[in-house]
């Protein structure tokens, strides 16, 4: 036995020296990259035409295949296969075109690594680089709203709220990620966080619908939006462009990348501004810069570093009343509200492939954010009063943390084990004080024509706290195939969100923690021929944001409490079934999901008579709906896309008031406010054969009506609008035009009212017909 082992070991040592003498094959080397983004493509299969030999590209898209043949077949999931005539010994630079019918086949957000759609028992949509590029969006909502079942509500100047398996809300029920790293720490959610994104350096987006807390933790309840940034390009590239509209919006943007040996770099940025728009007091400035560096320490080890800087300064006109809205008088009732944000994000990721079945990564990250504002939504005014009150606040945090994950694949039941841990340390400070306002009333005395500041009152503090947040988590997920084509996935995550605080208002100090374990169980079944089914059950939770805990109540509770120390996390249980199918020879792609999610302790904002808000947790809620996605490409000239949802969001048990004198004490069975039952977005694109590199498309966005308050006494009818886009490229020069709100429809993206008889509706008006013109130059080397 020892002699056999000795001979075997000696043979292995001699093999590298004797193998060249036994073959005259010359290696075929090269790199494979995406035809649109020019990013290198890992996992591409290059094999001989007779199928005898083959190899897969590494993480840098590089391959080396020993062959004597002159024909190879190149294929990858999500891309069109190619058969090529080659000359072994000559380097090959090959670009692959995405396959339209497979746009959602490869995903990375499901478990923080590249995986197949057929193995992910979740509802997930991918917004491809081609879709993003052709949209030529001025604001990111124009792209995200193409996701089936998703509505990113445009609140002006890139400000927004969100609706994913939830009503339109500013609550912390959505997780925003950049390359898998949360943009904000848990507990410091801000619904406007996406205005800090550099959209020109985003390569693709993935949107997960429903709870994914078992991998990503709290706040990933309604869903998660992952922005996947541009990697260094396999060949030298550069692009620079400008775009503007007739309302004073202008933007300059640039990006460039290259790979030199083991080192790759990509840099990009944008500078935008708006002046004298259709909406009074809506001027803003934004500058955003991004850098990504990649270094291949070896064929198995990679180092990636990113740096992002964003500076945003905007006037905030606020909403308008019904008189101004229906008269299309887009005036502002103040001349002093604003929002200023500055953010820095950086990360360093080390990835290592131990072997073909074992990978590890660790990401260290840092953040620094400051937000200062005099918000229009904080103005408190009672009908008929000649005075009002507002506030000036600041919210700052710094973060240090890491995410570590190991993946191990086994031959046993074709299984895979994922284990991970996260740590996020984020000191947070918040300060707010009152400003006194004079209110100039309209003739009817029921609305305000103009607010003016009469005095700043820093001695009247509305919030003043410091909290040291320390979030820790550990998670595990195991996937396996007990039967052919049947794959099970089970996951569990433990979260501990804790903070030590000092409240400057009541001079209290202390600590608080929220501990939660969230499981997930899912199953997928591959029906074959690009068809499959899935089902899952998952739990999610969202702890209250620190601002909701420490914001001083306008009225004390019965026990005298002025703060919300006893707010509990919102808990959710989600069950869904779905499936996907590719039909008509891969020309038609369908993806559907039916879900039911129940919630407890959902945090709601209850508008008070003075226009302030009180926080209150709903007892139980129900969210149920169906989501449908369809893409159809009958020929190279036409592409049709449809995505939408039919859903209901209801109160199951919610005590609105415990006062016997109130007409309505509970709203059990009523619709939640700001919850459209139908949302869909559809688009038809045309690429004529008779004019190469020309494109045009027509998009239809539908949002059905919704109730404006918890008592369902008043509703808004919703809206339909059309958007048209056209573009043409010639020798790297691209001209494009977007016509948004083609029919010049009068509509509001948000319309709300309180539950009191004296309350009035406030509208967030949307832009009238807008013409966006742009010019961009794209350079690509060889």
Q: Single out the residue of 648, 650, 699 nearest to residue 676, CA to CA.
A: 648
Both structure tokens of 396: 């700052």
In the prediction, which pLDDT does 103 show?
A: 41
Mean pLDDT, rounded, for 277-291: 95
- 550/136 Cα distance (integer angstroms): 41
Res. 592: pLDDT tops 90: yes
Mean pLDDT, rounded, for 530-544: 91
In the prediction, which pLDDT does 427 show?
A: 97
In the prediction, which pLDDT does 19 show?
A: 41
State the chain's mean pLDDT as an integer.
Answer: 88
Res. 661: pLDDT tops 80: no
- Taking only the tens place, the pLDDT of each residue in 342-356 is 999 999 999 999 998
Q: Read off the pLDDT band of 2 (50, 70, 90).
A: very low
CA torsion, ordered 657, 663, 667, 672, to nearest 10 deg: -90
- Taking only the tens place, the pLDDT of each residue in 565-589 is 777 889 999 999 999 998 988 899 9
**What DSSP state is assigned to residue 25?**
P
- 457/387 Cα distance (integer angstroms): 14
Given 3-state DSSP classes, what are the helix, strand and coil percentages for the chain, each rounded to the nearest 5? 10, 60, 35
Q: Read off the pLDDT band of 494 (50, 70, 90).
A: very high
Least confident of 19-33, 139-153, 710-724: 19-33
Phi, psi dihedral angles at 110 (to 5 degrees): -60, -40
In the prediction, which pLDDT does 9 show?
A: 38
Mean pLDDT, rounded, for 713-728: 96
Query: What is the bridge-based pairing of β-strands 181-182 and 174-178?
Result: antiparallel
Least confident of 29-33, 215-219, 256-260: 215-219
Res. 653: pLDDT tops 80: yes
Q: Read off the pLDDT band of 394 (50, 70, 90).
A: very high
Q: How big is the chain, counted in residues?
A: 782
In the prediction, which pLDDT does 356 show?
A: 86
Side-chain-side CA neighbours of residue 662 (13 Å): 13
- 502/488 Cα distance (integer angstroms): 46
Both structure tokens of 575: 């069950």
In the prediction, which pLDDT does 557 show?
A: 63
Q: Read off the pLDDT band of 612 (50, 70, 90).
A: low
Strand extents, DSSP E, 411-483: 415-441, 448-483
In the prediction, which pLDDT does 43 show?
A: 81
Res. 36: pLDDT tops 80: yes
**What DSSP state is assigned to residue 771?**
E
Q: Which residue has the higher pLDDT, 229 or 86?
A: 229
Q: Read off the pLDDT band of 109 (50, 70, 90).
A: low
Mean pLDDT, rounded, for 35-57: 81
CA torsion, ordered 170, 171, 176, 182, to nearest 10 deg: 130
Strand extents, DSSP E, 297-386: 301-315, 338-355, 358-374
721-to-259, 641, 698, 741, 768 alpha-carbon distances in Å: 43, 16, 11, 6, 11
CB 438 within 8 A of CB 387: yes
Helix (H) or strand (E) holding 132: helix 129-135
- 573/210 Cα distance (integer angstroms): 10
Both structure tokens of 607: 């508008």
Mean pLDDT, rounded, for 162-186: 92
In the prediction, which pLDDT does 525 show?
A: 94
3-state secondary structure (DSSP) of residue 127: strand
Phi, psi dihedral angles at 101 (to 5 degrees): -75, -10
Radius of gyration of the chain (CA): 28
CA torsion, ordered 502, 508, 509, 513, to nearest 10 deg: -90
């Amino acid at each position: 036995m020892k002699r056999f082992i000795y001979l075997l070991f000696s043979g292995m040592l001699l093999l590298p020296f004797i193998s060249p003498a036994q073959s005259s094959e010359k290696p075929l080397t090269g790199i494979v990259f995406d035809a649109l983004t020019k990013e290198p493509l890992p996992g591409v299969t290059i094999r001989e035409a007779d199928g005898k030999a083959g190899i897969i590209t590494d993480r840098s898209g590089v391959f080396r295949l020993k062959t004597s043949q002159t024909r190879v077949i190149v294929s990858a999931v999500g891309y069109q296969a190619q058969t090529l005539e080659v000359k072994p010994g000559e380097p090959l630079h090959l670009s692959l075109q995405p396959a339209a019918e497979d746009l959602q086949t490869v995903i990375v957000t499901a478990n923080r690594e590249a995986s197949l759609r057929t193995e992910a028992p979740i509802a997930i949509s991918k917004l491809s680089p081609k879709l993003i590029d052709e949209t030529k969006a001025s604001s990111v909502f124009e792209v995200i709203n193409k996701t089936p079942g998703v509505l990113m509500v445009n609140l002006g100047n890139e400000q927004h709220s969100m609706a994913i398996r939830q009503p339109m809300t500013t609550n912390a029920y959505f997780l925003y990620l950049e390359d898998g790293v949360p943009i904000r720490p848990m507990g410091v959610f801000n619904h406007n966080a996406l205005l800090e994104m550099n959209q020109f350096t985003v390569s693709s987006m993935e949107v997960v619908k429903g709870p994914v807390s078992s991998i990503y933790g709290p706040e990933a309840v309604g869903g998660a939006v992952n922005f996947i940034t541009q990697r260094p390009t396999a060949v030298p590239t550069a692009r620079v462009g400008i775009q503007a509209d007739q309302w004073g919006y202008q933007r300059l943007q640039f990006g460039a990348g290259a790979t030199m040996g083991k080192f790759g770099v990509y840099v990009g940025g944008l500078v935008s501004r708006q002046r004298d728009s259709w909406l009074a007091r809506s001027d803003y400035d934004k500058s955003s810069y991004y850098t990504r560096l990649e270094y291949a320490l070896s064929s198995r080890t990679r180092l990636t570093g990113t740096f992002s800087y964003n500076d945003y300064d905007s006037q905030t006109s606020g909403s308008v009343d019904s008189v101004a809205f229906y008269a299309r008088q887009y005036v502002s009732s103040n001349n002093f509200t604003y929002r200023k944000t500055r953010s820095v994000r950086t990360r360093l990721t080390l990835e290592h492939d131990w072997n073909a079945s074992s990978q590890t990564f660790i990401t260290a990250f840092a953040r620094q954010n400051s937000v200062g504002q005099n918000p229009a939504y904080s103005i408190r005014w009672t009908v008929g009063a000649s005075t009002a009150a507002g506030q000036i606040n600041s919210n700052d945090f710094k973060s240090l943390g890491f995410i570590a994950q190991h993946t191990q694949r086994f031959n046993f039941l074709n299984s895979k084990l994922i284990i991970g841990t996260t740590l996020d340390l984020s000191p947070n400070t918040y300060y707010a004080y009152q400003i006194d306002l004079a209110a100039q009333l309209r003739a009817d005395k029921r609305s305000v024509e103009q607010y003016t500041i009469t005095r700043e009152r820093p001695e009247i503090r509305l919030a003043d706290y410091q909290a040291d947040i320390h979030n820790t988590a550990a998670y595990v997920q195991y996937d396996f195939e007990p039967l052919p084509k049947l794959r099970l996935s089970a996951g569990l995550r433990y979260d501990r969100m804790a903070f030590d605080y000092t409240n400057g208002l009541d001079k209290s100090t202390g600590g608080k923690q929220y501990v939660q374990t969230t499981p997930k169980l899912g199953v997928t079944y591959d029906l074959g021929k690009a068809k499959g089914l899935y089902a899952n059950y998952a739990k999610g939770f969202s702890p209250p944001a620190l601002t909701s805990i420490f914001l001083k109540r306008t009225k004390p509770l019965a026990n005298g409490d002025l703060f919300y120390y006893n707010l509990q996390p919102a808990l959710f249980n989600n069950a869904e079934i779905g499936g996907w199918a590719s039909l008509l020879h891969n020309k038609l792609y369908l993806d559907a999901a039916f879900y039911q999610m129940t919630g407890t302790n959902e945090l709601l904002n209850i508008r008070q008579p003075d226009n302030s808000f009180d926080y209150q947790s709903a007892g139980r809620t129900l969210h149920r709906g169906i989501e449908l996605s369809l893409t159809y490409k009958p020929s190279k000239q036409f592409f049709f896309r449809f995505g939408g949802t039919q859903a209901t969001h209801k109160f199951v048990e919610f005590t609105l008031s415990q006062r016997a004198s109130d007409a309505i004490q509970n709203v059990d069975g009523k619709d939640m406010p700001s919850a459209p039952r139908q949302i869909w977005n559809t688009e038809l694109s045309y690429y004529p054969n008779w004019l190469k590199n020309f494109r045009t498309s027509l998009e239809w966005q539908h949002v059905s009506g919704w109730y404006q308050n918890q008592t369902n006494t008043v509703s808004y009818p919703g809206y339909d609008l059309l958007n048209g886009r056209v573009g043409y490229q010639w020798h790297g020069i691209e001209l494009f035009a977007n016509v948004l709100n083609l029919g010049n429809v009068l509509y509001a993206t948000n319309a709300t009212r309180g539950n009191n008889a004296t309350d009035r509706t406030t509208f967030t008006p949307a832009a009238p017909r807008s013409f966006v013109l742009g010019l961009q130059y794209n350079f690509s080397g060889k």
